[in-house]
């Protein structure tokens, strides 16, 4: 297994487990999951954490789980799959910070994990000469 695939397997598994746990906690107790008060959602389109937790569980949790499985199987599409879910994580964090109107250390940590995942995915795309990396490959005319 390529070291980039192994690294992405670990990274996506870590994010998946955390998102599945957090998403499940928010769906079970949507008014105060893990002690997080619903008042943080004031001014947002949500009155409780059920919908955001469902999105966290499905998109981030299951998505990163699928990405971990495809990394384990050395999928030829891993660069794209990891990139999609790494960007999804970064977008999730930015939207969460906007909704909460606050930034915590955990937000910075998970944003950086998403960024590292996206960069690792780009390395795979460069190794395999796939789009968009192939645009930078010199072609003789």
Give pLDDT tens digits for 68-97. Answer: 999 999 888 999 999 999 999 999 999 999
What pLDDT, on a 0 to 100 scale, did the predictor assign at position 59? 97
Task: Mention every residue, 6+ apart, whose C-beta is less than 8 A from residue 85.
Answer: 12, 60, 63, 64, 66, 67, 117
pLDDT at residue 127 in the model: 86
Give dist(CA 50, CA 101) in Å, integer.
Answer: 19
pLDDT beneath 50: ranges in the chain? none
Predicted structure pTM score: 0.89
pLDDT of residue 140: 56
Give the dihedral sign, CA 112/115/121/124: negative
């Amino acid at each position: 297994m390529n070291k980039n695939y192994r690294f992405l397997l670990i990274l996506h598994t870590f994010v998946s487990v955390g998102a599945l746990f957090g998403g499940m906690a928010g769906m079970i107790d949507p008014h105060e999951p893990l002690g997080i008060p619903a008042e943080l959602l004031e001014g947002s389109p949500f009155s409780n954490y059920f919908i955001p937790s469902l999105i966290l569980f499905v998109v981030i949790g299951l998505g990163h789980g699928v990405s971990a499985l495809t990394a384990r199987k050395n999928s030829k599409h891993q660069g794209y799959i990891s990139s999609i879910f790494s960007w999804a994580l970064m977008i999730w964090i930015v939207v969460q910070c906007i909704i909460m109107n606050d930034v915590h250390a955990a937000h910075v940590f998970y944003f950086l994990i998403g960024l590292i995942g996206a960069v690792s995915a780009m390395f795979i795309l460069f190794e395999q000469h796939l789009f968009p990396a192939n645009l930078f490959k010199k072609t003789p005319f």
